[in-house]
């Protein structure tokens, strides 16, 4: 089945034709490791994890190479070290492991390579030397800068901007040593209190953009298949990656296909600490939101559309997953459903794929549901501990009470008293009794993580 992907570079959906089907290569920009990953950081991880799974399914697990980097040299890290009194190495080591643990809780597979920027400083220095030698970079006051004017014919194509327009609207540092306001730093000097490495231009450290170009070249070559990341990276980061990579290695294409996911909102607003709606992944996990639920909510929206995280969506996802897990418990997965796979191959239509999973459940194709959900990283054993904890059998007394409430709710809906029906559903959810409606009736399951579980007295 042909995979089709929306290529940011061409602005259209295209059949995916890998350079070498025996080694399909993908690079995704990873985190700067100085703190916990917030909810927005997790969206590209889940998006490209699904693509990784799809590529492995299509071409074979041994024929896909996935690289996602860690930025462990950065001014934010330096500032965190200065304010905390801890060493940079201690901070980056700890936060790197935090990131891996939190993403594993979301069901994300680890990439084949997870290079750290500090492990590739010699490769960055070598690439900078090549750029200087080819007239695409220059040294000025201890800095090395990429000369945008040396590649005006290509700069801006990804983001669809001309150099002149970018200069007119630029919010960049216009240092006196820059020949052009758009020139960007490849290397900068480091004082004694900052991390630094010896180079032909003195002791210093790399700029942000050069690390991805150097690591991608080292691990994937001068041309590879897919480069991904959030659309906030399109300019300037990805634009600068293309410029320096294509100028250093003009014989290659760098990345053939560019994929960008849209940003995340919380309850309809941009996530912001000032608005009080800023969450890390760990915050939600510690509040009792299972990682699988977070993943489900992410995948319910197409990756190229803004995604709105809401508490209501999380509750709905949890109820659905409990229903599905109960249905497939003890069932051996069969084959991945062809229609679900077709939807996934259509530019990662995860929302459509989830709709198809609902249909498989209604059709009672539980083997197909288990196998197909697995393609999305759902319903696997590793992420199912939360369900096993809340799926204990309820007592007969509890069953009778819950069924009475469900009957009252059904009667309210029959009388079109939807406010009462919703109130009953919400009341039961507040004491850990989760309802799930379907054409066949109403199912329910217990949430043993709720401290009020079964406390019907709290409803009186």
Q: What band does 437 get if pLDDT is binned at 50, 70 and 90?
A: confident
What is the model's pLDDT at position 26? 98
d(CA 176, CA 41): 35
**Lowest-confidence pick of 62-71, 136-145, 202-211, 399-408:** 399-408
Backbone φ/ψ region at 440: left (φ over 0), alpha (ψ -120 to 50), beta = alpha
Q: What is the mean pLDDT of residues 382-388?
A: 80
Whether the per-residue pLDDT at 29 is higher than 70: the answer is yes
Query: What percentage of residues in the chain have a pLDDT greater than 90?
Result: 78
The answer to whether 394 and 446 are in contact (CB under 8 A) is: yes
Over residues 10-21, mean pLDDT: 98
pLDDT at 135 over 70: yes
Is the domain of 244 the same as that of 290? no
In this structure, are 245 and 273 located in the same domain?
A: no
Mean pLDDT, residues 41-61 taken together: 98
Closest CA to 68 of 40, 93, 49: 49
pLDDT at 35: 93
State whether 369 and 403 are in the same domain.
Answer: no
- 137, pLDDT greater than 70: yes
Residue with tokens 């009953």: 424
- Quote the pLDDT of residue 167: 62
d(CA 130, CA 65): 26
Is the separation of the CB atoms in 65 and 25 below 8 Å? yes
- Residue 89: pLDDT above 90? yes
Among 390, 421, 450, the domain boundary falls at: 390
> pLDDT at residue 448 above 90?
no
C-alpha dihedral, 165 to 171 to 172 to 176, nearest 10°? 90
* Phi and psi angles of residue 289, each rounded to the nearest 5 degrees, phi first: -85, 115
Among 147-151, 173-177, 392-396, which range has the highest average pLDDT? 147-151
275 in the same domain as 247: no
State yes or no: pLDDT of 395 exceeds 80. Answer: no
- At a CB cut-off of 8 Å and minimum separation 6, what does 429 contact? 315, 435
pLDDT in tens, 254-292: 999 999 999 999 988 888 877 888 899 999 999 999 999
CB atoms within 10 A of CB 369: 28
Q: What is the pTM of this model?
A: 0.85
pLDDT the model gives residue 387: 81
Q: Which residues pair with 446 in a beta bridge?
A: 433
Could you tell me if 31 and 142 lie in one domain? yes
Mean pLDDT, rounded, of the chain: 92
pLDDT at 367 over 90: yes
Residue 76, CA distances (Å) to 88, 221, 230, 394, 459 in order: 10, 30, 19, 50, 49
Give the model's confidence band at 189: pLDDT under 50 very low, under 70 low, under 90 confident, else very high: very high
Q: Using the predicted structure, report yes or no on whether residue 164 has a pLDDT greater than 80.
A: no
For the chain, give the percent of residues with pLDDT over 70. 96
Under the banding of pLDDT at 50, 70 and 90, the label for residue 436 is confident
Which of the listed residues 390, 413, 444 is the one where a domain comes to its end? 390
Of 70 and 153, the structure prediction assigns the larger pLDDT to 70
Same domain, 354 and 400: no
Output the pLDDT for position 390. 67
What is the per-residue pLDDT for 424? 93
CATH of the domain at 250: 3.40.50.620
Provide mean pLDDT across the span 122-130. 98
- Written as six digits, the tokens of 100 are 């891996």
Average pLDDT over residues 300-314: 96
Chain centroid to CA 208: 20
Q: What is the 3-state secondary structure (H, E, C) of the chain?
A: CCCEEEECCCCEEEECCCCCCCCEEEEECCCECCCCCEHHHHHHHHHHHHHHHHHHHHHCHHHEEEEECEECCCHHHHHHHHHHCCCHHHHHHHHHHHHHHHHHHCCCCCCCECCEHHHHHHHHHHHHHHHHHCCCEEEECCEEEECHHHHCCCCCCCCCCCHHHHHHCCCCCCCCCCCCCCCEEEEEECCCCCCCECCCCCCEEECHHHHHHHHHHHHHCCEEEEEEEEHHHHHHHHHHHHHHHHHHCCCCCEEEEEEEECCEEECCEECCHHHCCCCEHHHHHHCCCCHHHHHHHHHCCCCCCCEEECHHHHHHHHHHHHHHHHHHCCCCCCCCCHHHHHHHHECCCHHHHHHHHHHHHHCCCHHHHHHHHHHCCCCCCCCCHHHHHHCCCCCHHHHHHHHHHHHHHHHHHHCCCHHHHHHHHHHHHHCCEEEEEECCEEEEEECCCCCCCCCHHHHC
Cβ–Cβ contacts within 10 Å for residue 397, how many? Answer: 9
pLDDT level of residue 59 (50, 70, 90 thresholds): very high
The answer on pLDDT for 206 being more than 70 is yes
Beta bridge partners of 189: 204
CA nearest neighbour of 204 among 213, 218, 192: 192
Range of the domain at 418: 396-459
Helix axes 291-299, 350-362, angle to 10 degrees: 110
Query: At residue 168, does pLDDT exceed 90?
Result: no
pLDDT, one tens digit per residue, over 319-352 is: 899 889 988 988 899 999 999 999 999 999 999 9
Distance of CA 446 to the CA centre of its chain: 30
Same-domain pairing of 348 and 439: no
For residue 140, list its beta bridge partners. 143
Looking at the fold, whether 167 and 232 belong to one and the same domain comes out as yes
> Do residue 66 and residue 178 come from a single domain?
yes
Specify whether 183 is located in the same domain as 256.
yes
β-strand 137-140 against 64-68: which pairing, if any? unpaired
How many domains does the chain contain in total?
Answer: 3
Residues 139 and 281 in one domain: no
Q: Which one of 375, 390, 405 terminates a domain?
A: 390
Rounded to whole angstroms, the Cα distance separating 414 from 418 reads: 9
Rounded Cα–Cα distance for residues 25 and 217 (Å) = 11
Q: Is the pLDDT of residue 169 over 80?
A: no
Whether 244 contacts 277, CB under 8 Å: no
**Closest-CA residue to 343 (of 330, 352, 331, 355):** 352
Categorize the per-residue pLDDT at 432 as very low, low, confident or very high, splitting at 50, 70 and 90: confident
Are 32 and 123 in a shared domain?
A: yes
């Amino acid at each position: 089945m042909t995979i089709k992907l929306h290529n940011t570079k061409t602005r259209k959906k295209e059949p995916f034709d890998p350079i070498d089907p025996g080694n399909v290569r993908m690079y995704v920009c990873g985190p700067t490791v100085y703190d916990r990953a917030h909810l927005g950081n997790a969206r590209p991880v889940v998006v490209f994890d699904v693509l990784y799974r799809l590529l492995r399914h299509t071409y074979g697990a041994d024929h896909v190479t996935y690289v996602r980097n860690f930025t462990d040299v950065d001014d934010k890290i330096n500032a965190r070290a200065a304010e905390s009194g801890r060493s940079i190495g201690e901070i980056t080591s700890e936060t790197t492991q935090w990131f891996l643990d939190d993403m594993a809780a979301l069901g994300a597979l680890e990439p084949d390579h997870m290079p750290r920027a500090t492990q590739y400083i010699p490769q960055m220095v070598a690439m900078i030397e090549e750029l200087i030698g080819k007239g695409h970079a220059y040294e000025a006051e201890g800095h090395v800068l990429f000369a945008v004017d040396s590649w005006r014919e290509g700069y801006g194509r990804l983001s669809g901007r001309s150099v002149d327009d970018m200069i007119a609207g630029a919010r960049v540092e216009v240092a006196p040593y820059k020949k052009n306001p758009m020139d960007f730093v490849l290397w900068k000097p480091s004082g004694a209190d900052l991390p630094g490495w010896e180079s032909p231009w003195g002791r210093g450290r790399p700029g942000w953009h050069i690390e991805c170009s150097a690591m991608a070249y080292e691990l994937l070559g001068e041309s590879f298949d897919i480069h991904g990341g959030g659309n906030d990276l399109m300019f300037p980061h990805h634009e600068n990656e293309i410029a320096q990579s294509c100028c250093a290695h003009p014989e290659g294409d760098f990345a053939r296909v560019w994929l960008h996911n849209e940003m995340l909102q919380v309850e309809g607003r941009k996530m912001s600490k000032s608005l009080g709606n800023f969450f890390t992944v760990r915050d939600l996990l510690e509040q009792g939101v299972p990682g699988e639920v977070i993943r489900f909510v992410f995948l319910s929206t197409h990756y190229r559309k803004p995604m709105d995280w809401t508490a209501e969506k999380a509750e709905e996802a949890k109820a659905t997953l409990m229903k599905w897990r109960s249905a497939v418990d003890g069932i051996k997965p069969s084959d991945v459903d062809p229609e679900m796979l077709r939807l996934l191959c259509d530019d990662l239509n995860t929302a459509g794929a989830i709709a198809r999973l609902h249909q498989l459940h209604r059709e009672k194709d539980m083997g197909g549901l288990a196998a197909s959900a697995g393609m999305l990283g759902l319903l696997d054993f590793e992420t199912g501990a939360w369900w096993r904890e809340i799926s204990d059998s309820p007592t007969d007394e509890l069953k009778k009470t819950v069924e009475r409430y469900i009957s009252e709710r059904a009667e309210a809906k029959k009388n079109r008293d939807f406010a009462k029906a919703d109130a009953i559903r919400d009341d039961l959810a507040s004491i850990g009794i989760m309802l799930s409606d379907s054409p066949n009736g109403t199912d329910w399951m217990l949430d043993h993580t709720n401290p009020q579980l079964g406390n019907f007295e709290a409803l009186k």
